[in-house]
A and B are shown apart, each in its own frame.
Chain A
C-alpha cells in the first residue's frame, strides 16, 4: 500500500505531569500514521508503531507530529527490518 518504513518508538514520559499518559495518548491517536499504541511496565512507558512512505516522510512525521506530542522526556527508535514470525497464535 506504499508504506515501506515501520519504526518502533519507545518513549519515556515526564511522569511528574499528572495527565502525562492521557494527554500523550490522546495526541498520538490523532496521528493517522500511528498504528499501535502500547503502554508498559518497565523501562519504557509507551511504545508507538509508526508507518511512513519512506525515510524522508518518516523524518517529516517525526519532526512535525511525534516530537510535538506533550510530555515526552526521551525517545528511542527501533527500525523494523524484517518480521521473522507474526502469527499471534496462543499456545493452546
Chain B
C-alpha cells in the first residue's frame, strides 16, 4: 500500500466525482501549482486509480430496464464454472458478472431496452447458458453510488 497524505485524498475525492477535471483546475482548488498537481495525479494513476469511466444516460439511449439476476448453477465443479463464465462474458447485455458466496453463485447486471427485450435476453441468452439452475430476477428501481470511505474527507475539503 502506498502512503497517501490528505492532499492525495482530496485529489481522489475530486476525481471520483469529476474524473475529467484537469490538473490546473484541481491544483487551484487545493492551492497547488499545475505541475505539482499533475505529478501527484500521475502518481495516483500509477498506484491507486485503476481507470476512469464515462457515465451514460441509459434511459436517453433507449435502455430503460436494468435487472439483477441471482444465478445458482445446477451442476458445480471447475468445468461448469469456467464454461458458464466463458459463455456469460460474451453476452453484450450483461454489464457485470460477480462471483459471490452465499445464496447464489453469480450476480449479473443486465441492461435491456424494455421488458420484452429483457424477456428475449432471459429466454435466448440466460436460460440457455451451460449449467444454469435457479434464477432470481430483481428489477432495479433506483440506484445511487456513494463515494465510500473517501467521503469522510469531504469535511476537510469544505
User: A residues touching B (Cβ–Cβ < 8 Å)?
Assistant: 1-3, 8, 29, 32-44, 47, 51, 76-92
Contacts and interface: CB of A to CB of B under 8 A. Distances in A.
B36 interface: no
Given A32-B148, A43-B138, A88 B53 contact: yes
A54 B88 CA distance: 30
Contact of A81 (B53, B99, B137, B148): B99
A84 B97 contact: yes
B107 A90 contact: no
A77 B102 contact: yes
A42 B136 contact: yes
B136 A43 contact: yes
B61 A36 contact: no
Contacts, number: 120
Interface residues of B, number: 45
Contact of B146 (A36, A81, A85, A91): A36
A31 B115 CA distance: 34
Nearest to A89: B95
Interface string B76-119: 00000000010011001111111111111011010100000000
A51 B104 CA distance: 19
Given A32-B152, A33-B149, A83-B96, A38 B1 contact: no
